[in-house]
Amino acid sequence: MKLPFYQVDVFTSELFGGNPLAVFLDADDVDDATMQKIAREMNLSETTFVQAASDPHVAHRVRIFTPGQELPFAGHPTIGTAAVLHRLGKVTGDAFTFEMNVGPIAVTREEATFWMTPPPAEPVGGAFDRAAIASALGLPTSAVVSPPQVFGGRGVSFLCVQIDNAANVDWIMFERAALIAATGEDVGAGDVLVLSYLAGVAYSRMFPAIASGILEDPATGSSIAPLCSALAQWRAIDQSRTTLKVEQGTQMGRQSFLHARFEVQHTSVQNVTVGGSVVPVFESTLAL
């Protein structure tokens, strides 16, 4: 069996920026264990496998794997896979839907930018102690400016921690064991989004769940709805704010820019869409 695949950089307009993604086509006959082995071999934040959809109204089924596990949904794989399929003529028009483990995910194209509609996000559980979270991040308590809390839904959630400035976001010395002690195993071993925010621009870093098999992610589209939900809950944004720009990956040398559109209603957000551009890098074939 030969599988064509395409590697792209997502959430960037610069070659070798953003978050790399490998997209494997014609993967209907590839079993789950082999997909996981391929993702481990590619050793990127995520690798996608495009299959025939079970629903005739859906363009394709898309499976998403990190080096350590399959995900129900992820943002940069959705945007990157959409760009590859559109460039190859395997999706038609500027609006289509992917079948993912989390459910149907709508995608649209506006010139060079692809937009997706992620699962909605809301607060999950109560807030955690600022001092304990700050200590796990190697920062003084005063640097944590909002109550750390989990935001998400439908199997996609992040512990969101707002820091006072971008310099302190870069300064983080992350200790996973200390975070688990502060929050419990379920939260502390999961995805952690640390961010600063000012006037419509967020600067973030994302430390993926232990099971993912990666230490830090250069661009995390699935974090944007939780991030917007967190900012609304913390009253950092109000009804006048409808867009957000997020810079991520800079400290890793993979600067990425993610864009969000949304509506704020009191302390919640609705109708979030996440957009970004994609740069082709190379294409090849894997022989199985």
- Cβ atoms of 162 and 195 closer than 8 Å: yes
Q: Active-site residue among 14, 46, 70, 247?
A: 46
Cα within 13 Å of Cα(273), Cβ side: 13
The C-alpha atoms of residue 176 and residue 189 are separated, in whole angstroms, by: 7
Q: Which residues pair with 233 in a beta bridge?
A: none
- Cβ atoms of 25 and 5 closer than 8 Å: yes
Cα within 13 Å of Cα(140), Cβ side: 4
The C-alpha atoms of residue 225 and residue 118 are separated, in whole angstroms, by: 7
The C-alpha atoms of residue 30 and residue 132 are separated, in whole angstroms, by: 44
Residue keyed to tokens 């195993």: 185
The C-alpha atoms of residue 121 and residue 224 are separated, in whole angstroms, by: 9
- Cβ atoms of 84 and 23 closer than 8 Å: yes
Task: Please say if 46 is a catalytic residue.
Answer: yes
What does the block give as tokens for 97? 């839907």
CA 145 to chain centre: 23
Catalytic residue IDs: 46
